[in-house]
């Protein structure tokens, strides 16, 4: 059974710093991995989708990497801003499954 | 930009009552999903729907739950007899295709069962 884990559960960093959020999964037979942002009490905003055949995806200041063999993905945020404060979720989709399996998220706080 | 919409944003109901949560997926999408998030916990998959039938469901999606696409635009989740533990945020999502496609999520409906 696929388990998705995100460490740390919470992170505070000063504005302007680059940071990395970690996601690990137990079953490497994933089809793709998606990173989301969730603001308090709000829905999920898709940030990046990495297919299993890809190593990384970039969107603006965000870069997500995927290493299937080690069961890891990272989300790199460059030059962090207070507006980046949110919970970041990663979710893995298994081969032949409709559903995506979520981690519990990392709650990020950027200090002005 | 097209987006998934959900109504209502917040629903309060008494235990044992039926509720219907509504979603309007993105118009050219073919796959529809419901997920839920109990406060402080992970987002969990409930059900996926394609071509007017359920294609996958989780163990959470028992007989008290049902889904329907009553017309060309709406996608609904019905809970027949709500329990206290059904209190959660319910998210609808849609995607253009199955594997390889992003799932786009709505803003959620917060269901409170008293």
Q: pLDDT digit string (tens) for B8-45?
A: 999 999 999 999 999 999 998 999 999 999 998 999 99
Specify the residue for token string 């460059």.
A78
Q: Which pLDDT does position A12 carry in this prediction?
A: 96
Q: Which pLDDT does position B98 carry in this prediction?
A: 76
The residue of chain B with its CA nearest to that of A54 is B100
pLDDT category at B73 given cuts 50, 70, 90 is confident
Question: Span A11-23, mean pLDDT?
Answer: 96
Distance of alpha carbon B103 from alpha carbon A11, whole angstroms: 26
pLDDT over 80 (residue B1): no
| Contact residues, chain A, for B67 at CB < 8 Å | none
Verify whether the Cβ–Cβ distance B48 to A43 is below 8 Å. no
Q: Which pLDDT does position A98 carry in this prediction?
A: 76
A99 Cβ under 8 Å from any chain B Cβ: yes
Question: Span A14-30, mean pLDDT?
Answer: 94
Q: A24-83 pLDDT, tens per residue? A: 999 888 889 999 999 987 889 999 999 999 999 999 999 999 999 999 999 999 999 999
Verify whether the Cβ–Cβ distance B106 to A100 is below 8 Å. no
Interface of A with B in 77-96 (CB under 8 A): 89, 91, 93, 95-96
pLDDT over 90 (residue A99): no
Q: Which pLDDT does position A71 carry in this prediction?
A: 93
Verify whether the Cβ–Cβ distance A42 to B108 is below 8 Å. yes
Contacts of B93 (CB under 8 A, 6+ apart): B4, B25, B32, B33, B34, B35, B103, B104, B105, B106
Interface of B with A in 37-76 (CB under 8 A): 41-45, 48, 50, 55-56, 58
């Amino acid at each position: 059974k696929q388990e998705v884990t995100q460490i740390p559960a919470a992170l505070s960093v000063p504005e302007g710093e680059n940071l990395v959020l970690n996601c690990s999964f137990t079953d490497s037979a994933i089809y793709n991995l998606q990173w989301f942002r969730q603001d308090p009490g709000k829905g999920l905003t898709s940030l990046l989708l990495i297919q299993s055949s890809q190593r990384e995806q970039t969107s603006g200041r965000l870069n997500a990497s995927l290493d299937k063999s080690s069961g890891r993905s990272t989300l790199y945020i460059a030059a962090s801003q207070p507006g980046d404060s949110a919970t970041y979720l990663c979710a893995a989709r298994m081969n032949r499954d409709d559903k995506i399996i979520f981690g519990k998220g990392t709650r990020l706080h950027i200090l002005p | 930009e097209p987006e998934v919409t959900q109504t209502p944003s917040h629903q309060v109901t008494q235990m044992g009552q039926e509720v219907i949560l509504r979603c309007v997926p993105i118009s050219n999408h073919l796959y529809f999903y419901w997920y839920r998030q109990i406060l402080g916990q992970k987002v969990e998959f409930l059900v996926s729907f394609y071509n007017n039938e359920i294609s996958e469901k989780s163990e959470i999606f028992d007989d008290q739950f049902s889904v329907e696409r009553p017309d060309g635009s709406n996608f609904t989740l019905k809970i027949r007899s709500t329990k206290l533990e059904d209190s959660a945020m319910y998210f609808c999502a849609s995607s253009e295709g199955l594997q390889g496609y992003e799932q786009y999520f709505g803003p959620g409906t917060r269901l409170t069962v008293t």
